[in-house]
Amino acid sequence: MMLTMLLLPALAALVLPFLKTKQDKHRCVTAALALEAVLAANALFLPERELVLFSMTETLTIALKLDGISKLFMAIAAFGFLLVGLYAFRYLEHEEKDDRFFCFYLLSLAALMGMDFSRNLVTMYLFFEMITLLSMPLVLFDRTEEAVRGALKYLFYSVAGAFLALGCIFFLSRYCVSLEFVAGGNLDMEKAAGHETLLRIVVFLGVVGFGAKAGMYPLHGWLPTAHPVAPAPASAVLSGIIAKAGVLAIIRVIYFSVGADFLRGTWVQQTLLALALLTVFMGSMMAYREKVFKKRLAYSSVSQISYALVGLFFLTPQSALGGLLHVLFHAVIKVCLFLVAGSFIHNTGKHRVEEFVGFGKSMPKTLWGFTLAALALIGIPPASGFVSKWYLALGALDSGMGVYAWLAPVVLLISALLTAGYLLPITVSGFFPGKDAVLPERNDEGGWAMVAPIWILAGLTLILGLCAGQLVPILESLAASLF
């Protein structure tokens, strides 16, 4: 099953260039994405299993493992890529070479699946690098000067972060029992005795390095540069799904390699919390000030992904629950918002928020989808974002982390207010433009090919919040298993 889910999108990408008509190519992509989603749904109910692909040495293997964490990230990737892929057919309908986009789109999904299923640090690092190399052409797709700069910045930041992470892996190979992922950590305390300071330094650098993909300060700069120049479907998966690869890597290093106990109460935990909270506040403030819609959403991602990191860095089961919930909810919300941005651009050619006046008349279905997702991102109950932020705040208050125990909820609240400030005015000016405003003409909003994915995702932001009573116990058990 794991190998099939890894190879299926890769094989579809290899076949795609040999198909002659655009219709056949779209059918191939649809079949691959739909089958991937079916396999992902089936994998959710499978017990844990492992598969060794090959061995490089006696101690270094490329191997896959299906566990609770991999199931969560696998499901997000499979279903998110399916909805965005269906949307992309219409968004890219005027592009003659859209098969180039879909080739790298499918290859990026294959690399994501490989990372989700990784059994050890070496396998994870291999696929982490592949994700960067295979997703960079998605940013580069338009081949404009701005797209080239954005793609190169994404590449440089990701590679720089990966080098920091690789140095961390080298040291962990010396002081861990093995590089395999073990819930609770795999550190050899006898070997680590006397080297704790060095180990904590390299773990800190490794987390910062992997955090580049998640947009954590100080390696966050690629998001606001890459997203405005990438096609909307690329921005949707980069922000909502691919950026979560950084979160997954951090989970694997902290909880499955060194163990939470090794970092709890140390300067590493405190510094990581400070960086994550700074990222939350800074990203929200920059989003509030930004006028280009996609760039505003990019800064929003910088902030919102670090919500999950805040929960994970508190190193308690309740805070980790809030972090895992936010990983799921943010993926749904942010993919929806970037698809809305794509619809605005595709149907009106407008990019700046002050130009969206009266869109409630010209694009009511799209704007309603945006409004539901915006309310969820702000954290208005009963939408899903409220649930994850509730558990993040509870986890912080119960953490016993001194100033961080009350500072984190305060920063999250300020960020929520800023989020309302940069999202809700779009809804207000869209539905209530004022009597003197020049209203845009009604359009088809891209047809149901673009509207349906937005509505499905917007509906999920509400449904996941209403069904939190059934979802929370599942992720609560998953969070507890990290310790």
Tell me whether residue 391 is in a domain.
yes
Q: What is the pLDDT of residue 466?
A: 93
- Predicted confidence (pLDDT) at residue 95 exceeds the cutoff of 80: no
Tens-digit pLDDT profile for residues 123-173: 999 999 999 999 999 998 888 888 899 899 999 999 999 999 999 999 999
Q: Name, in order, each residue with C-beta under 8 angstroms of 446's C-beta and a sequence gap of 6 or more.
A: 90, 91, 343, 346, 347, 366
Q: What percent of the chain has pLDDT over 90?
A: 74
CA separation for the pair 295, 293 (Å, rounded): 5
Q: Which range is most confident: 88-102, 340-354, 410-424? A: 410-424
pLDDT digits (tens, 9 = 90+) for 469-480: 999 999 999 999
Q: What is the Cα 173 distance to its own chain's centre? A: 28
Contact assessment for residue 169 and residue 122, using Cβ atoms and an 8 Å cutoff: yes
- pLDDT of 37 reads 95
25 to 83, 122, 361: CA distances (angstroms): 17, 34, 35
438 has pLDDT over 80 = no
How many domains, the chain?
Answer: 1
Q: Which residues, 6 or more positions from 15, have their beta carbon under 8 angstroms from its beta carbon?
A: 28
Rg (CA), the chain: 21
Task: Tell whether the model's pLDDT for residue 255 goes beyond 80.
Answer: yes
Q: How many residues does the chain have?
A: 483
**Crossing angle of helices 468-481/317-348, nearest 10°?**
120
What pLDDT sits at residue 440? 78
What pTM, to 2 d.p., does this model score? 0.94
CA distances from 113 to 10, 55, 372, 453 (A): 11, 20, 29, 22
Assigned domain for 324 exists: yes
- Is pLDDT of 436 > 80? no
pLDDT of residue 257: 94
Does residue 99 register a pLDDT over 90?
A: no
Q: What pLDDT score was predicted for residue 208?
A: 96
Domain annotation covers residue 28? no
317: in domain: yes
Q: For residue 469, count other CB atoms closer than 10 A to its CB.
A: 8
CB-based contacts of 392: which residues, under 8 Å, 6+ apart? 307, 310, 311, 319, 322, 323, 326, 408, 412
pLDDT for 54: 86
pLDDT above 80 (res 98):
no
Q: How confident is the model at residue 198 (pLDDT cuts 50, 70, 90)?
A: very high
Per-residue pLDDT band at 400 (split at 50, 70, 90): confident
Over residues 59-73, the mean pLDDT reads 92
pLDDT at 194 over 90: no
Bridge-partner residues for 421, per DSSP? Answer: none
Counts for the chain of helices (H) and strands (E), in that order: 21, 2
Res 141: pLDDT: 87
Contact 482, 259 (CB under 8 A): no
Question: What are the tens digits of pLDDT across the range 8-46?
Answer: 999 999 999 888 888 889 999 999 999 999 999 999 999
Range of the domain at 353: 264-483
Give me the pLDDT at residue 212, please: 93
Inside any domain, residue 388: yes
Bond preceding residue 425 cis, omega within 30 of 0: no
Residue 380 within any structural domain of the chain = yes
Q: pLDDT tens digit string along 204-231?
A: 999 999 999 999 998 888 888 888 888 9
